[in-house]
Amino acid sequence: MGHRHHRALTARLVFLPQPLLVCGRVSRVLPRRGLMRLSRYFLPILRETPKEAEIVSHRLMLRAGMIRQEAAGIYAWLPLGLKVLNKITDIIREEQNRAGAVELLMPTIQPAELWRESGRYDAYGKEMLRISDRHEREMLFGPTNEEMVTEIFRAYVKSYKDLPLNLYHLQWKFRDEIRPRFGTMRSREFLMKDAYSFDLDQAGARHAYNRMFVAYLRTFARMGLKAIPMRADTGPIGGDLSHEFIILADTGESEVFCHQDYLGFAVPPADTDFEDAAGLQGLVDHWTSRYAATSEMHDAAAFEAVDAASRVSARGIEVGHIFYFGTKYSAPMGATVTGPDGQERAVHMGSYGIGPSRLAAALIEAGHDDDGIIWPDEIAPFHVMLLDLKTGDGATGAACDTLYKALTLRGLDVLHDDRDERAGAKFATADLIGIPWQVLVGPKGLASGKVELKRRATGERELLSIEEAVARIAG
RNA sequence: CGGGGCAUAGCGCAGCCCGGUAGCGCAUCUGCUUUGGGAGCAGAGGGUCGCAGGUUCGAAUCCUGCUGCCCCGACCA
């Protein structure tokens, strides 16, 4: 291992950006951005809808140049789509970290051996993509990571003093669905945040479960979504520790029933104490106090007991799923710790999933109109789009440059449409890709020193000076 | 995996029934005119008609097989 390698590595490190701070808008945005001129960007928008796309999110993701299908249920994420995916994972990471989970990264390819230990290698069926390497060793493309994370845990953790522990990662998974559909909503390859908790006993596991429960409430709320926890089937383990987080969307895949009150429940604040077991339990109790069920778990009689005015029956999309499964993997795989009493025992585990690639589609299902996508501010690939309505005019270009500098200095992500296109085409593009703020810079307005600020979600427009527009957007 | 459908230019489609050497709109390129809600005119480029066989003087078109993709259902984050 040479000297040479070492030196090359050092030289390269010099050019790496400073480590990003975890919090704050500016630190997240600044190091990544170059000058975003649409004429130099890669945004292959489609004017017509490809015929294979059935649901609105799939149509819009293709039209907005976010994704490209490479095979059934397998997609390339183009620049705009990737920016959205990254915004989603940024929020997920912040909330996982806040709740005390620790990030690592496990591989996509796993040895079959691990899955034989848990007994799932044969049980999983054809959904698992099985492959073999050049030595004919049986491998698989991971559909989930319980086995592997349990293997990692058992290799190092031996004492109850190291608990509780929650390890998570964001990694691509593959499930060879019989029938992938709905674009990235139900793809074969998909990104998943999966967290795994390890505790000494069931009480500890419940606290771990509650931490994730509250983290999920915050995560989805930050994305502008109303996610409602609904009791899910716990399978052979039983108990009440499994919830699906469902967002309501008219075009949702499944029918859901819940109490109106959920739509108004307060989301736990950022300074929630995740170590306070009793406090968390109170929050979870509150958020499970009303009726809420997917069609599989629906109890018509119980729903009828809710007063008629408060009954909400709607369509929903599952965006997260958490569950406790006890010693299902730790016992067969020998993931044990020694307790305070000197006894060795299998740890109690839970797992907690969110699908960011599915969320990207779900967010569009929940936010769009006839003209295109309507991104929530926290998720939008760019915060602001500058529309130079007369490129080559000089004055409009100069005004756009001024706006660009002022907005980026305030930590905002700006896309400048400097293409040599007519105004109408720029309006259509901006509406299609759903940037929350549009600044229309045209000769008419500039004549009186004004630009027009348009809010994508509401269509509201205001004539403002450049300074006023910047102030309004930066809020 | 069962049932149905599609495959012709980057995208959307026509042509196929009735075989004769490929067309329309949008997009792309050039020029001129236009310029606040996907502009107009003129011109240009771009296709092994999914793949492989077969029938025929001749196949996008008829026949056989294969592959890919989509939709409905069962399954799933």
DSSP characters for A146-199? HHHHHHHHHHH--BGGG-SEEEEEEEEEE---SS-BTGGGB-SEEEEEEEEEEE
Chain centre to alpha carbon of residue A300? 32
Phi-psi group of A235: left, alpha or beta (phi > 0 → left; psi -120 to 50 → alpha; rest → beta)? left
Identify any residues that bridge with A244 across adjacent strands, giving them in sequence order: A230, A321
A75-96 mean pLDDT: 97
Distance B8 C1' – A178 CA (angstroms): 29
Distance B34 C1' – A422 CA (angstroms): 10
Q: Same structural domain for residues A303 and A451?
A: no
Q: Same structural domain for residues A176 and A234?
A: yes
**DSSP secondary structure string for all residues of A109-127:** EEEHHHHHHHTHHHHSGGG
Residue A281 domain-assigned (yes or no)? yes
Identify any residues that bridge with A439 across adjacent strands, giving them in sequence order: A386, A453
Q: Does strand B come within 7 Å of the CB of A188?
A: yes
Q: Does strand B come within 7 Å of the CB of A423?
A: yes
Angle A161-A165-A171 from CA coordinates, rounded to 5°: 155
Distance B62 C1' – A340 CA (angstroms): 82
Residue A31 domain-assigned (yes or no)? no
| β-strand pairing of A384-388 with A414-417 | parallel
CA-wise closest residue to A53 among A181, A147, A162:
A181
pLDDT above 70 for A74: yes
Q: Same structural domain for residues A321 and A394?
A: no
A42-48 mean pLDDT: 94
Helices (H) and strands (E) in chain A, counts: 16, 23
Distance B12 C1' – A370 CA (angstroms): 19
pLDDT above 90 for A138: yes
Residues 211-240 of A, Cβ under 7 A from nucleic strand B: none
How many structural domains is chain A composed of? 2
What is the spatial distance between Cα A29 and Cα A377, in angstroms, rounded to a whole number? 14
Q: Same structural domain for residues A360 and A404?
A: no
Residue A24 domain-assigned (yes or no)? no
Q: Same structural domain for residues A219 and A354?
A: yes
pLDDT above 90 for A1: no
Cβ distance A181 to A317 under 8 Å?
no
Q: Same structural domain for residues A410 and A364?
A: no
What φ, ψ does residue A341 adopt, rounded to 5°? -90, 5
Cβ distance A80 to A66 under 8 Å?
yes
Q: Does strand B come within 7 Å of the CB of A437?
A: no
Q: Does strand B come within 7 Å of the CB of A48?
A: yes
pLDDT above 70 for A37: yes
Q: Does strand B come within 7 Å of the CB of A440?
A: yes
Residues 258-317 of A, Cβ under 7 A from nucleic strand B: none
Q: Please name the amino acid found at residue A3.
A: H
Residues 128-167 of A, Cβ under 7 A from nucleic strand B: none
CA-wise closest residue to A209 among A291, A265, A281:
A281
Q: Same structural domain for residues A137 and A191?
A: yes
> Among residues A341, A369, A397, which one ends one of the domains?
A369
User: In terms of residue numbers, what domain contains A80?
Assistant: 56-369
Q: Same structural domain for residues A151 and A285?
A: yes
Phi-psi group of A66: left, alpha or beta (phi > 0 → left; psi -120 to 50 → alpha; rest → beta)? alpha
Angle A105-A107-A113 from CA coordinates, rounded to 5°: 130
> Among residues A305, A337, A369, which one ends one of the domains?
A369
State both tokens at A201.
């006993």
Q: Does strand B come within 7 Å of the CB of A455?
A: no
CATH of residue A463's domain is: 3.40.50.800
> Among residues A307, A341, A369, which one ends one of the domains?
A369
- Return positions of chain B under 7 A from a protein CB: 1-2, 11-13, 25-27, 34-39, 68-77
Q: Same structural domain for residues A178 and A264?
A: yes
Residue A41 domain-assigned (yes or no)? no
pLDDT above 60 for A216: yes
CA separation, residue A464 to residues A184, A279, A406, A469 (Å): 39, 47, 15, 6
Q: Same structural domain for residues A326 and A433?
A: no
In tens, the pLDDT along A256-274 reads 999 999 999 999 999 999 9
What is the spatial distance between Cα A82 and Cα A66, in angstroms, rounded to a whole number? 7
- Of the two residues A277 and A49, the one the predictor is more confident about is A277
- Can you tell me which residue has the tokens 């569009």? A364
Distance B5 C1' – A371 CA (angstroms): 29
Q: Give the model's pLDDT for residue A24.
A: 33
Q: Same structural domain for residues A393 and A349?
A: no
A288-301 mean pLDDT: 90
Q: Give the model's pLDDT for residue A255.
A: 87
Residue A237 pLDDT level (bands cut at 50, 70, 90): low
Burial of A130 (0-12, 13-18, 19+ CB in 10 A): middle
Residues in chain A: 475
Q: Same structural domain for residues A258 and A391?
A: no
Residue A27 pLDDT level (bands cut at 50, 70, 90): very low
Q: Give the model's pLDDT for residue A456.
A: 98
Residue A272 domain-assigned (yes or no)? yes
Q: Give the model's pLDDT for residue A133.
A: 92
Q: Does strand B come within 7 Å of the CB of A329?
A: no
Q: Give the model's pLDDT for residue A228.
A: 96
Q: List the single range of A28-42, A307-321, A400-414, A423-437 with lowest mean pLDDT.
A: A28-42
- Is residue A32 classed as helix, strand or coil in its secondary structure? helix
Q: Does strand B come within 7 Å of the CB of A321?
A: yes
A177-181 mean pLDDT: 89
Q: Does strand B come within 7 Å of the CB of A65?
A: no
Q: Does strand B come within 7 Å of the CB of A416?
A: no
Residue A236 domain-assigned (yes or no)? yes
Exposure b/e, A197-208, CB count within 10 A at least 16 = b: bbbbeeebbbbb
- Of the two residues A23 and A179, the one the predictor is more confident about is A179
How high does pLDDT run on average in chain A?
A: 90
In tens, the pLDDT along A308-334 reads 999 999 989 999 999 999 999 999 999
pLDDT above 70 for A55: yes
Residue A376 domain-assigned (yes or no)? no
| β-strand pairing of A451-455 with A414-417 | unpaired
Residue A446 domain-assigned (yes or no)? yes
CATH of residue A204's domain is: 3.30.930.10
Q: Give the model's pLDDT for residue A392.
A: 84
What is the spatial distance between Cα A443 and Cα A451, in angstroms, rounded to a whole number? 9
Q: Does strand B come within 7 Å of the CB of A427?
A: yes
